[in-house]
Homo-oligomer: A and B are copies of this chain.
Amino acid sequence: MKKTLTPIDVRYQETDQMGVVYHANYLVWFEIGRTKFIEELGLSYAAMEEKQVVSPVVDAQLSFKKPIRYGEKAYVETWLKSYDGLRTVYGYHILNEANEAVVSGSTEHVIVKKDSFRPLSLRRSFPEWHQAYLSSLGES
């Protein structure tokens, strides 16, 4: 299975007064990993949006085992967990310097028209994404 590993520079702004990265920021890091994963498939959200289509998150799950601190190196590992032509589920690990998976999670996405948020079929609207997803899952 294809996985991408994206380095993250922890921003001071991302810390909170616990002295660690504020938990909601890991959803942003997931987005960074997902964007990179998609780029490596030869796709881009920016190109999708030019067609007035966006890909909102419909479900997210995060599990936090250890904090990440400012000054630490971090990485987000991203892969495609499942895809059925309509819904795409990404999996993520946040790795610390010691290569421990300190945060794990997943996000589920659909695509919708930007103006109305009416759902579209990825398979029919973006066959090149469909094909790339199947390849990534080893199903084509």
List A residues at the B interface (Cβ < 8 Å). 9, 11-13, 15-20, 22-25, 27-28, 31-32, 35, 44-46, 49, 54, 56-67, 70-71, 114, 117
Contacts and interface: CB of A to CB of B under 8 A. Distances in A.
Contacts of A11: 28, 31-32
A10 B35 CA distance: 11
B12 A16 contact: yes
Q: Residue among A20, A27, A35 with the most chain B CB within 10 A?
A: A27
A62 B60 contact: yes
15 contacts: A11-B28, A11-B32, A12-B16, A12-B31, A12-B35, A13-B16, A13-B24, A16-B16, A20-B56, A24-B25, A24-B31, A44-B71, A60-B64, A61-B62, A66-B117
Contacts of A61: 60-62
Given A13-B31, A17-B70, 12 more contacts: A9-B32, A9-B35, A12-B31, A20-B117, A23-B27, A23-B60, A24-B24, A24-B28, A45-B71, A57-B62, A58-B63, A60-B61
